Each structure stands twice: as structure tokens, then as C-alpha cells.
Structure 1
């Protein structure tokens, strides 16, 4: 075990500017956002800040009627907080590892639970995989992000990216699937011949099928999602 004097501990763990731009990793589980304007963050992810920053929960019509209706229909659990002002903002999500991606007129689809933050310049929309409804307690909900700017995603442990080629589909566990290139349209299949060991009550093994030209990001962890009950 490492032993430090207080001075040594402060020096070893102190925040420092590494010149990484507005989204900068202090370590692999803590994100610093050098804020001068507005940014969207996952609700509950703020762990510290300095400066003058105001936090506002996402308004009902903040992003237009279309997104509000999608959230109402899907029961989408991912909520956003708007952070505005000037200062340094620090984010984390249950000790998960953070990856920062700089979109350059590109697009990516991220599991809603794994989206930590994105700049205001990024356009986004909720996507829903209706076919899975009834298979995984209501469905899988994702966020499509596109444009120019930085986003931050989270994974349990180190992410692995698999390349998808035409005619060479990649199959993944939905609970281990974090993100994929938005040009891919994943399909879902249930293999009733295989029984799952834990986590699902349907007795079916659910798989996501990616076919085309792109990539899919997975994590070495099966994250169980609990969807809200419907009336």
C-alpha cells in the first residue's frame, strides 16, 4: 500500500490542466469539463465544480414536442441536466470508465444509460428498438448523436470495439452493448434453444445482430436494465 504525507497526497492527486480541450479526463473514471457556455450531462453525474455554473433539469419541451412524446411513449429513463455558466465541472458515473469521443461531422448511437455528457453543438434524438419490447422488460432505448463536438460515454471496465463488415455480421448481448456506428441498423433475435443463466425471465437468449459496414462497442459486463412499469 502506498503511503503519503498530506502534501505528497495532494500533489499526487491534484487536478491539473492537461491541455485536452473542453472535455478532459482527470483519470479514467473522472471527466473534467472546462465549461464556458452550456453542456448536457447525465442526471446525477456531477461530483464537483468550481466557478459560476447553474444546473437545470431537462425541461418537458426543452428539445421539442417530438422528443417529449418519444420519452412518454418509451418510458425512457435517461434524463439530462443542463449545465450553464463558466467554470470547471467534474463528472463520474458509479466508477465506470469514461471515454471521450470528438465527433467531426459524424454520428454514433449510444445506449442511453451509457451516455455521460455531450456539447450543445451535438444534435441528438432518441431511438427505440421496438422489436425487443416484451423480451427485455419493455425495450432498449438509445440516443443517436451527430454533428461536431465532444461526447463522453461510460463502460464497465475497458471497452472493446468490433469491426462489422458486409456479410460478416457481429452478434452481441444487448446488456453488454454500449454503442455503434449510426449507419448500422441492428436487429434483434431470440434463440429459444438456449437458456440464459441469470438476469432474464423470458428463458430466451436475446442477441443483437449488426450487419453492414461499421463498428460496435461492447463492455466486459452485462448491465441489467430495469424499465419503469407502465399503467
Structure 2
């Protein structure tokens, strides 16, 4: 087989079954879902599928009025869809790296914009960060997951996890914060020095502070989101 031939290209890049189960990383940036039933996924993340599937956008009142109000306030930044059927579903999000976790009666918070997919067996709830709404473009809301099942989220480049321990809080930039353990609830603080140094409009003057015992996942990238007021217009 000659180098750079179409046959060689197909051999190097074609899909291969790895037998990893419900979620399978085809590449670090492409998720294969071996679907036989239902899965929740980020709206717009489907890049291909084969088999019999039906896609349904999340009903605005499906999870109660409280969730609907939160979604309206955040401009539906965490829009979800349900995929029902049987076959192989391929998901991706702007070429971001995909992380898969198998929750076993665990809980975790994930930034709404970084969520990719999860099994319907996991309980979830949108959490709105009211204190910084309107002040900060990123990190306006997140999703808390609890239970047992597979979940996939994304990060720009290579994420790292920082341990949080009592008396040793971790301070992060909300735009670089991807996820954190379900027992932690961050507080928000404004760094006046940074604000003066960077200018009044800089989001880096708003910081997330994590106290307690757990972990925080950060990425080497400050994601810029549409501001709440713009997304509601």
C-alpha cells in the first residue's frame, strides 16, 4: 500500500471498535456513543451517526418551571438534546478535548458550556450563579450531576486537577474553570488590584474561591462567552 494513498488514509483514520462500552473515545476529541436506548447530549454536538435514531430538543418545562426560568435567564447556554434509538452516535464540540467519567454514586459540577453528554440514569440540575450574573461573561451557570452512570465533558487543550484541602483554598478564573467536586460550592470575590491593573472591564478581577475538601478542574484557556444581557436580547 503506497504512502499517502486513499487506502492508507482510510486505514489510518477509519473508525475502530475498542469495546469500551457505552462511551468510547474514538480520538481525544471525538466521542462515540454505543446507543441502545437514550442519551443526553449538548445541542449541536452531533457530527455523525448510523442506525435508527431520533433527536429531540429538551422541552422547556421538562424539568420544572425553576429550571425553565434559569435557562431563560442564562440564554439557554446549556441547551440539551435527547438521542433515542440504537446505533453509533458521534459527538464533538469545537475540537475540544473530551474527558469521560464513570460516576459511581458520585457528584460533580460541570460548567454548562463544557458539558457534552451523559446517561439518563444520572440526576442533574442547572445551578445559576446569581452573584456574578451581568458582571462576568463566563461561568454564569453550571450543572450538578449526582448518581451512577457515564458522563463526558470537554476542555480546551490539556486540563489539570487541583486538590482543595481545608485551610488551603484554590482561587480560579471562572473562564478557565471546567468542573469541581459536588461537595464544593465556590464563593466569588473581586480582586481590586487586578481590576486596577487590567482595567475595569476585565473579567479576571472576578474570581472563584473553593474552600473545603475536594478538587477543581481547570483548563489552560480562558473561554469567552456571550454576556447574559446580550444572550437574552
TM-score by length of 1: 0.93
Q: Which piece of structure 1 moves more, 136-145 or 179-188?
A: 136-145
Q: Is the 8 A contact 1:192 1:203 kept in 2?
A: no
The residue that corresponds to 1:131 in the other structure is: 131
CA shift, 1:19, in A, is 1.4
After the TM superposition, which residues 14-33 of structure 1 pair with which residues of structure 2 at under 5 Å, given as runs?
A: 14-33=14-33
What do the CA deviations read for 1:122-143 (whole angstroms, capped 9, x no partner)?
1100112222123214961000
Shift of 1:202: 5.2
Q: Which runs of 4+ in 1 moved over 4 A?
A: none
1:35 aligns with 2:46: no
On the 8 A contact 2:50/2:87 being kept in 1, the answer is: yes
Structure 1: state its 5+ residue gaps.
none
CA contact (8 A) 2:109 2:181 kept: yes
Q: What's the secondary structure of 2:52's corresponding residue?
A: strand
Q: Residues 223 and 204 from structure 1, CA distance in 2 versus in 1: closer, same or farther, beyond 3 angstroms?
A: closer
Partner SS, residue 193 of structure 1: helix
Shift of 1:194: 1.5
Bigger drift between 62-71 and 169-178 goes to: 62-71
Structure-2 separation of matches of 1:38 and 1:98: 20
CA drift of 1:60 comes to 1.6
> Map of 1:94-173 to 2, 5 A cutoff?
94-137=94-137, 140-173=140-173
Q: Deviations over 1:90-142 (max 9, x none)?
A: 00000000000000000100000000001111110011222212321496100
Between structures 1 and 2, the one with greater helix share = 2
Give runs of aligned pairs for residues 71-90 of structure 1, distance below 5 A.
71-90=71-90
**Quick check: 2:137–2:203 contact (8 Å CA) kept in 1?**
no
Matches within 5 A, 1:195-206: 195=195, 197=198, 201=201, 205-206=205-206
How far the C-alpha of 1:73 sits from its partner, in A, is 3.8
> CA 1:202/1:30 → structure 2, altered by over 3 Å: closer, same or farther?
closer
Residue 172 (structure 1) shift: 0.6
Q: Secondary structure at the match of 1:178?
A: strand
* 1:25–1:177 distance in 2 versus 1, CA, 3 Å: same
* Partner residue, 1:224: 224
* Pairwise CA distance, 1:228: 3.9
74-83 vs 20-29, which deviates more? Answer: 74-83
Does residue 1:4 correspond to 2:4, yes or no?
Answer: yes
Q: Does 1:49 align with 2:49?
A: yes
